[in-house]
Amino acid sequence: MYKAFLIKYSEIGIKGKNRYLFEDALCNNIKEALKSCEGDFYVSKEQGRIYVESLTDYDYDEAVSALSRIFGIAAICPVMLLDDKDWDSVCKACIKHVSERYEDKNFTFKVEAKRADKNYIYTSPEIGMHMGAVLLDEFPELKVDVHNPSVRITIEIRKKAYIYSESIKGPGGMPIGTSGKAMLLLSGGIDSPVAGYMIARRGVRLEAVYFHAPPYTSERAKKKVCDLAKLMAKYTGSFRLHVINFTEIQMAIYEKCPHDELTIIMRRYMMRIAEKLARESECLGLVTGESIGQVASQTMQSLNCTNEVCTLPVYRPLIAFDKQDIVEISQKIDTFETSILPYEDCCTIFVAKHPVTKPDISVIRRSETRLDDVIGDMLKTAYDTEEIIEITP
């Protein structure tokens, strides 16, 4: 029944002169996402709205599911599209729409019309009034409620006629690519994929880095991170995942530094490496899944210590979220089931029984000097052996 979708966009962060940049990015992202769906589509923007028209047969559920993952979309309205917009055809189509879409006709409704074609036989208020009468005639169970209808039937008369009454919620946010790029520290846990999702939803393109510690972390653990990245890519589009071999650095920290400071020092090296990769890839910030107080390395004092080594802004979208709230988002975006698979992550291998919860920066700095002789070469090896994986949805 639906040959097109009207795409309503959410907040337009870039108003005025730059608005077209937002719309063009959204159109491109829609085209890109629909490439992986069955069928051919034509995406166009017209007077502040975006239309997706199907040129061939297509799979409705697949298309809606692809559209509902595109950031910047507030709502998706499946539209009946009529090439022939003479009044009789519009009436017939509108009756068909109500007849097929609403099994139970016991509801209140209102017909709203928008007429872009000023030569049409009726004005917008007339279209609303006349179609209301046509529908009441055909379906006597219907009731009109102009103030608070349960169904709003919209008729737009443009080059073609459009009829729609349904609105499927989109993910909101801003189109990917309208806000620069950031480097996500992606582990195999629950939090970092959610953090990446939230930042990407603001229009930020992602790159990601994963610190791998073979043989302490298995190939399965790395595969799990790639799987998570792939699930994220359904929202963010393709991105690069940098895999850094962290074993040697981790071992050196383990051998030379106080064990209760292990996690903090390790996190500081992760941030340093992530920042270097970020700068090389023209990223404007780092993203982590940290949340105040969640674990010893995420107290305010610990965050102070990890933050100190970076000069780029570190975005922590989950900073004030409870774990349960994070879990709910990860379920919604479908990363949860993969995140809870039991493959060890590189931080759990070397965790101390009693990690410091209130680390003192000057103490940590002093402990790190014990690595002075070896760390330069180790960092160089880590960069030289970096693996880059192209993640696609």
Taking the C-alpha atoms of residue 187 and residue 209, their distance in angstroms, rounded to an integer, is: 8
The Cα angle at residue 123 between residues 121 and 126, in degrees rounded to 5:
100
Exactly one of 128, 173, 175, 289 binds ligand ATP (CB under 6 A); that residue is 289
Task: Tell me the β-bridge partners of 152.
Answer: 110
Residue with tokens 């071992």: 251
* CB neighbour list of residue 50: distance below 8 Å, 6 or more residues apart: 6, 7, 9, 23, 26, 27, 30, 43, 44
Cβ atoms within 10 Å of 169's Cβ, excluding its own: 10
Choose, by CB under 5 A, the member of 189, 193, 203, 237 that binds Mg ion.
189
What one-letter code names the amino acid at 56? T
Is the Cβ of residue 72 or residue 189 nearer to Mg ion in the bound state? 189
Size of the residue set binding Mg ion (CB under 5 A): 3
Choose the one of ligand ATP, Mg ion, none that binds residue 9, judging by a C-beta under 5 to 8 angstroms depending on kind: none
Return the structure tokens found at 182.
Answer: 């950031």
- Considering only residues 111, 186, 232, 364, which one is a binding residue for ligand ATP as defined by CB under 6 A? 186
x/- letters, 326..365, toward Mg ion (CB under 5 A): -------------------x--------------------
With CB under 6 A as the contact rule, the residue among 297, 299, 307, 330 that binds ligand ATP is: 297
347 touches ligand ATP by CB under 6 A: yes
CB of 348 to Mg ion, least distance (A): 8
- The smaller minimum CB distance to ligand ATP, of residues 95 and 351, is found at 351
Binding mask 208-227 for ligand ATP (x = CB under 6 A): -xxx----------------
The verdict on 285 binding ligand ATP (CB under 6 A) reads no
Using CB positions, name the residue nearest to Mg ion. Answer: 189
Q: Alpha-carbon distance 315 to 184, whole Å?
A: 9
Tokens representing 334? 């479908």
Side-chain half-sphere exposure of 221, counting CA atoms within 13 A = 23
Give residues in contact with Mg ion (CB under 5 A).
Answer: 187, 189, 345
